[in-house]
Amino acid sequence: DNYEKLAPEEQRLNLAQKIYQQCLCDEYLFVPSLSVCRFCCNQVKRETFGYFYLLAWVVTHVRTEQTDRFHVRTEQTDRYHVRTEQTDRYHVRSEQTDRYHVRSEQTDRYHVRSEQTDRYHVRTEQTDRYHVRTEQTDRYHVRTEQTDRYHVRTEQVRTEQTSDCSHIVKNFCQVAIGGETTKKAESRLPDHLIDREKVNEVEDKLLGESPRYIYSEIASTVRDYLSGEPFSSYLESKYFTRQLQWKQLEKKPIGKHTFRHYRVLGKGGFGEVCATQSRASGKMYAEKKLNKKRIKKKKGEMMALNEKELLEKVNSIFVVSLAYAYETKENLCMVLTLMNGGDLKFHIHSMGAFTEDRARFYTAEILCGIQHLHQCNIVYRDLKPENILLDDAGHVRISDLGLAIHVPDRQVVKGRVGTVGYMAPEVIKNERYSYSVDWWGLGCIIFEMIEGQAPFRSRKERVKREEVEKRILDGKYTFSDKFSDDSKDIVRQFLELTPATRLGVKGDKWTTAKQHKFFDKIDWIFLEAGSATPEFVPDPHAVYAKDVLDIEQFSTVKGIVLDEADEEFYRKFATGSVAIPWQDEIIEVGVFKEINVYYENDELVSPKEENSKKSLLDKIPLFRKKKTTPPNSNSES
């Protein structure tokens, strides 16, 4: 206010301009504000306090402008630094991008090389398969040629034998009716003559309706003849002595000390299964121990005896065979074929579904096992993956005949037995049935091998038994993409609800089943001879069984007392060694030559090859030389 009063507007402007110019001089540009004010006051020769306000305003605006310029420069500098930083970042990113592209290019090259390597391995594998198939084809042709030669030779031998037999029969009949009495005919006389009446009777039967036993009377005549002089000569020969020696060795008493016992492989309803070894030959077996008290408690005597008797009847490479049956103080023991490869259930659950070729191979061998059982008039009734075992080479066998039953010709049985999910509709409806139930079970196994789960119940599915049986009776099951047309068709035919139209029952039974397109790749001659190559071979170092600690232990059976009636049953069960498996064991382990000795001219004849080790003959009391004496011809034994 004072400044405006003392200085008019025009004077103020001039004064301000002069002061502004003085303030912009180099000498006083950056001097403190008080000095500037004093200088300006001297210049304008004013001592009025109002000039200080003007000076302060000018200095403030000058400094403000300088500050603004400084801030502008600072802002430009900041922008420069920002741009520089952005440029650096850009260069860093560019470098990273270049490295990324380099790595991408290297990765692409790696993938290209990997793809080329994979193609190389695929081609190598295809080449190996081609060579394997070529080798198999060559072997097949060689075997086929050998088979053809064998058939040609067989036909030639049969032709020669037929010619000789015709000649002998012609002369025989002439002699029998008195038609030829020359010395030449007498030189060709057979050892025994059959009446002409019996020959005519056979001719009449052949021309008429053929009865069941056409040659019964002639067979009786031949039997009567053989029981005379030929049999007397046989009793005096060395062959009869050898047969007695073999039978005595075969019928040696069997007990727990006959074997060495190893780890437990599993358990069943009446006991456990463990690995065992014959001390005499060293052959390994699986021993099934049935606890006596547990059998009596569950009333399973007939079931155990039935399984043992049925196992004695079968003799097939596709069914587990019984080698020995004996008893101990606590158990009834069955020594069976050892199958180290585990069961199909174990492989399906651990490895998943099988390839169709592998499933086809197992199906073909199971079919051969079912065929053998049916030929022995045995209905298995419990066909499931758990009862199909693999051996060391990868072949399968049917095991556990606990629910099997012997069915006479053209008869049927009745009973709801089996495993839930695998029982045939006729079993569920408690109808009478025969061999048809086994073919239903085979269809379930084929489905489970290819799909990885049973047809009527998924794995780990919690469902009531009634629901599963309803699905079976309704025939509710679905195929996935894993099935081919042939596999679908054979499963449908095996799972036919009507037994009469089921594959294996209709037509020529198992022959019709073998002719299905699903088995076009199977050579049944090689397969039935055990010469087919399995699709999978178990690892010899692996254990295809539960850990010993995972197998539950049986609790002690209390309150059961064994009496004399039980002892009678045990004596029926413990029959010792079974003839054919025992003979196979002796031949397989290579001790046949050592024990195959006989008496000739009152002296013991042994093999010419000497063994540096202690001979098995010295281990068996029957063949110890210091105790052997020639057999007495007058002896009745």
Task: Provide the residue ranges of all domains of the chain, joining segments of one domain with +.
Answer: 2-134, 250-338+557-599, 344-543
Residue 252 marked in a binding site: no
Give the per-residue pLDDT at 186: 44
CB atoms within 10 A of CB 237: 11
CA–CA distance, 383 with 363 (Å, rounded to integer):
12
Q: Are 364 and 371 in contact (CB under 8 A)?
A: no
What superfamily in CATH does domain 250-338+557-599 come from? Phosphorylase Kinase; domain 1 (3.30.200.20)
The amino acid at 58 = V
- Ramachandran region, residue 118 (left: φ > 0; alpha: ψ -120 to 50; beta: rest): alpha
Q: Are strands 322-327 and 576-577 parallel, antiparallel or unpaired?
A: antiparallel
CA–CA distance, 458 with 473 (Å, rounded to integer):
17
Domain 344-543 in the same topology as domain 250-338+557-599:
no
Q: Distance between alpha carbon 263 and the CA centroid of its chain, in Å?
A: 21
Q: Which of 379, 344, 347, 345 is nearest to 365 (CA)?
A: 344
The amino acid at 392 = D
Residue ranges in the chain modelled with pLDDT below 70: 1-63, 150, 154, 157-194, 205-214, 545-559, 561, 592-593, 595-637
Told to judge if 382 belongs to the known catalytic residues of this protein, a careful annotator would answer yes
Angle at which helices 196-207 and 216-226 cross, to 10°: 150
- Ramachandran region, residue 465 (left: φ > 0; alpha: ψ -120 to 50; beta: rest): alpha
- First and final C-alpha spacing in the chain: 161
Q: Distance between alpha carbon 360 and the CA centroid of its chain, in Å?
A: 12
Angle at which helices 436-451 and 485-494 cross, to 10°: 150
**pTM (two decimals):** 0.62
CA–CA distance, 375 with 160 (Å, rounded to integer):
33
CA–CA distance, 530 with 318 (Å, rounded to integer):
9
- Alpha helical stretches, state H, 352-484: 356-375, 425-428, 436-451, 465-474
For 352, half-sphere exposure in the C-beta direction (CA atoms, 13 angstrom radius) is 2
Torsion of CA 461, 467, 473, 479, to 10 degrees: -30
Q: Which of 629, 627, 566, 582 is nearest to 250 (CA)?
A: 582
398 three-state secondary structure:
strand
Q: Are 494 and 442 in contact (CB under 8 A)?
A: yes
CA–CA distance, 47 with 40 (Å, rounded to integer):
10
Q: Which of 383, 306, 389 is nearest to 340 (CA)?
A: 389
Going from the C-alpha of 585 to that of each of 33, 258, 327, the distances in angstroms are 126, 14, 21
Copy the structure tokens of residue 591: 């001790």
CATH no., domain 344-543: 1.10.510.10
Give the per-residue pLDDT at 123: 81
Please name every residue paired with 267 in a beta bridge, in sequence order, or none if there are none: 272
240 three-state secondary structure:
helix
- Alpha helical stretches, state H, 177-237: 183-187, 196-207, 216-226, 229-235
Going from the C-alpha of 321 to that of each of 336, 533, 563, 577, 628, the distances in angstroms are 6, 22, 31, 12, 34
Q: Are strands 603-605 and 598-600 parallel, antiparallel or unpaired?
A: antiparallel
Name the active-site residue from 68, 357, 382, 584. Answer: 382
Instruction: Say if residue 582 is exposed, middle or buried (CB neighbours under 10 Å; 0-12, 13-18, 19+).
Output: buried
